[in-house]
Amino acid sequence: MVEKDFYERIKPIKVDYIESVLGAGFSISSNMPKPATSCGSSCSC
């Protein structure tokens, strides 16, 4: 669930379910640019 105002700024949103040897879970992505202070791909936020 996403707040409507926030969704309008980040749409479209892509939700995938991924299974791998490391485990399974959801991957959520959008076309929203990452901020310059982004912690990168190693972040476990």
3-state SS, 1-45, equals CCCHHHHHHHCCEEEEEEEECCEEEEEEEECCCCCCCCCCCCCCC
Answer whether residue 21 is part of any domain: yes
Give the count of domains, the chain. Answer: 1
Answer whether residue 36 is part of any domain: no
Half-sphere exposure of 21 (CA within 13 A, CB side): 0
pLDDT at 20: 92
Alpha-carbon distance values, 11 to 6, 8, 19 (Å): 9, 6, 25
pLDDT at 3: 83
pLDDT at 28: 86
The per-residue pLDDT for range 13-35, each reduced to its tens digit, is 888 999 999 999 998 888 777 77
Answer whether residue 13 is part of any domain: yes
pLDDT at 23: 93
21 versus 11: which is more confidently predicted? 21
Answer whether residue 16 is part of any domain: yes
Q: How far apart are CA 18 and CA 20, in angstroms?
A: 7
The whole domain housing 14 covers: 1-30
